[in-house]
Structures are given as C-alpha cells and as structure tokens.
C-alpha cells in the first residue's frame, strides 16, 4: 500500500488522499472513514516521504509497520466489528485538525490536504535519520547494543533538547571534542591553578565564549572544577538548567570520544543538527539537596519523570542530571551498554566478556586518573 500511495502522491496530493481514503475504508463499503482520520493515517505513513522523498523504506520511528497490519486486518474483518466500536473509533481516533493548528500552510489549490509544511526542502536536508555510527578502522566487531546506543546518543545530541536547540547541542559536542586538543586547556591543566592562565580556546566558536569555556573546563580538567567556579558560571548568566543539559552533552561526547580512542578509530562523526524548538520543561520536583545543581529525589519522581529511576537504591550519579530528565535517560542508555545495565550494577556476578573484577579495576583506574573522588 505504501508504494502505491507514494506513486499516487507523485501524481498529485488530492488524488492520493482520495485513493487512500477509499483503500482504507472497510471492505464492506458501508461507510467511509472520516477525512480527519484519513489524514492522520496518511501522516503516519507518509510524513517521512513528505520531508525526504529520497528516503526509501518505512520510517522506523513511525507507527507505519503496525498501522498497516491493523488497517489490513480491519478491512478484512470489518463485517465482524461491532458497529458501535467502528463509530467510536472513527469519532475519537481520527484526530487531525486541518484548520486550527496554526502551522504554516501551503494550501493545495484543489483543496487537498490543506496543511503542508512550507519548509519541506529545508527539513529534508536537516531531518534525515541519524546514520549508523562510523567505526571505520576498528578491527573488532562492535556489539550491536553499543552500535544502537551510539546511534541513539548521536541522535540525542543532534535533536532539540530541553533548553538548547539541536544546533546548539551539536555545537556543544563539537566544543567538547575540540577541548581534547585545545592549547589553552593544555596550558591550564599544567598550571598550578587553571585561573592563572588566560586566553582564548582554539578554533571558531558557534557558542558564546563563556559557554565554550564551560564546556572545555568540564571536558579537559574536570578534577579541578569547584563550587566557586560553578557559582561563577551561574552568576555569569548561564541558567542552571542549560548548564545541566550542557554537562550531559559534553560528557556523553567525551565518552564516545574516549571509546573511539581506546578502540583505535577516529571520533564518531557528529551529525547534522535537527530542527525544532527545545521543550523548556523544568521538572517541579527538582530541588537542591547537597549537590551544586537541583536534583529529583527518587520518591519524588512521578508523572512525566516516573520512569527516571528503577526500584531500589538510586545513587547520586544517576540523579545528577535529573534537572533535565532526558539527560538522565541518555545516561542510563549509555551506562547500560558501556558498563552493565544500571539495574545490575549492585549484582557482583553481572559481567560481560570481561569479568566484573576486570571491569571494576579498569573503571577504578580511569576514575583515579581523572582524580574523581566519587
């Protein structure tokens, strides 16, 4: 059906919608699915195609595969569905408002879909799916959960976050990577006090200089970050929510870069940013409780944050980024694949191809070299 629909879409939108409406109506022909429902189904199947006609295959992030199963089943079983169920489904599950969304419209002169993205060409360029990570040069197979996690993290970095846009998040990641070879950072790290060395970080910066400095300090000299330094950053105008999200992006980039360095390959290429606005949702349950930043206590993780923590003991490291819950979710995903699943950390028998003792020795040595007390 999708290939037929695409072919008809190429011929014209109104006829494609009309064909689709007929094709997805009950086979018995006793009723036609209401237009809003048709449009919502069309969106599920064709949104990807609308934004990137060059993309083949079903959008893996959509409901399309499941929807097609349902549509085909309903068509063949329409006569057996209770009429009340069919009526309620059409009335309540259609769901596309073509008149009041406020979206930029480019009305089809023939009165077709009515709401069409006017930025299709631009979105096609920047909204492509995140590619699989490039491990060129690795002479070992990378296990599938790591590949999936790296793709997830790259997608997470490129997407609009809670406070930063996708463009800004990619810029933060780029700054984190650049810190690894920054001369100012090297000079500061070698100095008795990082504050004794003045200068400008290497390279051209898309972010304000003070933000770049924060990223570079976290990446290159985390052991000497202090409460005084943090207070100065916040007093300088960086909102604490933006700071926490910046910490998430900076550190996740560092983790992938160190993995690449350890494996012996170039850092994974950063993707093009994805469009869209940050959510700007601050969790009300986040409070100051002994750390520099507000955190959500496990007992207060409810509603939208109910999924943040599992059962049992939740260490502060898993709460540290909870002012920006999506960064916690990203950290969990990262930890699950790079270490052991978070829920199994307390289990001393949890292991991978390395045994647990080897994993812990390596982890502890890395942390000692980073001079991380925690």
Partner 1 sequence: MSGGTADLRAITASVEGDAGVEHGALLVAFANAVQGDDDARLAATRRTLRAVLSPEAFVDACAIVGAFNVVDRIADATGIPLDPMLAAMTGDVRQELGLAGFRSSANTPGA
Judged by DSSP in three states, 296 sits in strand
> What is the C-alpha to C-alpha distance for residues 268 and 258, in angstroms, rounded to an integer?
10
Contact in structure between 322 and 328 (CB atoms under 8 Å): yes
Binds partner 1 (CB under 8 A): choice among 207, 256, 301, 324: 256
Task: Name the segment binding partner 1 (CB under 8 A); options: 40-48, 55-63, 115-123, 252-260.
Answer: 252-260
Contact positions with partner 1 (CB under 8 A) in 202-221: 218-219
Binds partner 1 (CB under 8 A): choice among 15, 101, 281, 358: 358
User: Does residue number 349 form part of the binding site for partner 1 (CB under 8 A)?
Assistant: yes
User: Does residue number 321 form part of the binding site for partner 1 (CB under 8 A)?
Assistant: yes
Binds partner 1 (CB under 8 A): choice among 230, 234, 298, 345: 230
| Count of beta carbons in the 10 Å neighbourhood of residue 367 | 12
**128-136 — which CB contacts under 8 Å span 24+ positions?**
128/52, 128/55, 128/272, 129/55, 129/59, 129/60, 129/61, 130/154, 130/155, 130/158, 130/271, 131/271, 133/268, 134/268, 134/269, 135/263, 135/265, 135/268, 136/265, 136/266
User: Does residue number 324 form part of the binding site for partner 1 (CB under 8 A)?
Assistant: no
Residue 155 neighbours by CB under 8 Å, 6+ apart: 130, 271, 274
User: Does residue number 191 form part of the binding site for partner 1 (CB under 8 A)?
Assistant: no
Binding pattern for the stretch 52-91 against partner 1, x by CB under 8 A and - elsewhere: ----------------------------------------
Binds partner 1 (CB under 8 A): choice among 123, 225, 238, 345: 225
Nearer of residues 74 and 218 to partner 1, judged by Cβ: 218
Closest C-alpha to 329, from 353, 305, 308: 308
Q: How far is the CB of 371 from partner 1 (least distance, A)?
A: 5
Binds partner 1 (CB under 8 A): choice among 59, 292, 324, 342: 292
Binds partner 1 (CB under 8 A): choice among 19, 55, 67, 339: 339
Contact positions with partner 1 (CB under 8 A) in 118-157: 139-143, 146
Q: How far is the CB of 199 from partner 1 (least distance, A)?
A: 19
Nearer of residues 304 and 366 to partner 1, judged by Cβ: 366
User: Does residue number 293 form part of the binding site for partner 1 (CB under 8 A)?
Assistant: yes
User: Does residue number 270 form part of the binding site for partner 1 (CB under 8 A)?
Assistant: no
Judged by DSSP in three states, 107 sits in coil
> What is the C-alpha to C-alpha distance for residues 316 and 298, in angstroms, rounded to an integer?
10
Specify the residue for token string 């790259």: 154
Counting beta carbons within 10 angstroms of the beta carbon of residue 276, is it exposed (0 to 12), middle (13 to 18) or buried (19 or more)?
Answer: middle
> What is the C-alpha to C-alpha distance for residues 145 and 353, in angstroms, rounded to an integer?
14
Binds partner 1 (CB under 8 A): choice among 34, 94, 222, 275: 222
Task: Name the segment binding partner 1 (CB under 8 A); options: 15-23, 55-63, 85-93, 345-353.
Answer: 345-353
């Amino acid at each position: 059906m999708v290939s037929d629909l695409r072919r008809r879409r190429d011929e014209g939108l109104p006829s494609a919608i009309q064909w689709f409406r007929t094709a997805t109506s009950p086979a018995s022909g006793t009723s036609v699915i209401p237009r809003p429902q048709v449009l919502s189904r069309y969106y599920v199947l064709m949104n990807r195609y609308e934004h990137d006609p060059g993309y083949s295959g079903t959008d893996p992030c959509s409901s399309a595969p499941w929807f097609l199963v349902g549509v085909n089943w309903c068509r063949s079983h329409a006569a057996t569905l209770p009429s009340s169920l069919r009526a309620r489904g059409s009335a309540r599950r259609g769901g596309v408002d073509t008149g009041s969304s406020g979206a930029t419209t480019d009305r089809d002169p023939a009165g077709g879909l009515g709401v069409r993205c006017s930025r299709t060409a631009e979105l096609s360029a920047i909204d492509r799916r995140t590619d699989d990570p490039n491990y060129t040069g690795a002479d070992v197979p990378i296990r599938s959960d790591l590949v999936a996690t790296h793709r997830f993290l790259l997608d997470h970095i490129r997407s609009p976050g809670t406070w930063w846009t996708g463009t800004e998040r990619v810029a933060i990641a780029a700054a984190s990577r650049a810190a690894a070879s920054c001369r100012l950072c090297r000079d500061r790290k070698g100095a008795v006090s990082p504050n004794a060395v003045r200068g400008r970080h290497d390279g051209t910066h898309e972010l304000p200089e003070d933000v770049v400095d924060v990223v570079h300090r976290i990446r290159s000299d985390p052991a000497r970050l202090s409460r005084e330094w943090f207070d100065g950053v916040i007093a300088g105008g960086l909102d604490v929510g933006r700071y926490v999200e910046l910490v998430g992006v900076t550190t996740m980039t560092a983790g992938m870069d160190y993995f690449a360095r350890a494996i012996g390959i170039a850092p994974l290429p950063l993707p093009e940013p994805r469009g869209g606005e940050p959510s700007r949702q601050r969790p009300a349950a986040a409070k100051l409780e002994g750390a520099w930043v507000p955190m959500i206590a496990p007992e207060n993780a409810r509603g939208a944050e109910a999924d943040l923590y599992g059962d049992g003991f939740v260490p502060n490291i898993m709460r540290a980024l909870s002012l920006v819950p999506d960064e916690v979710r990203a950290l969990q995903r990262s930890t699950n694949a790079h270490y052991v699943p978070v829920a199994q950390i307390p289990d001393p028998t949890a292991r991978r191809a390395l045994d647990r003792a080897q994993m812990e020795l390596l982890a502890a040595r890395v942390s000692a070299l980073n001079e991380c007390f925690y």
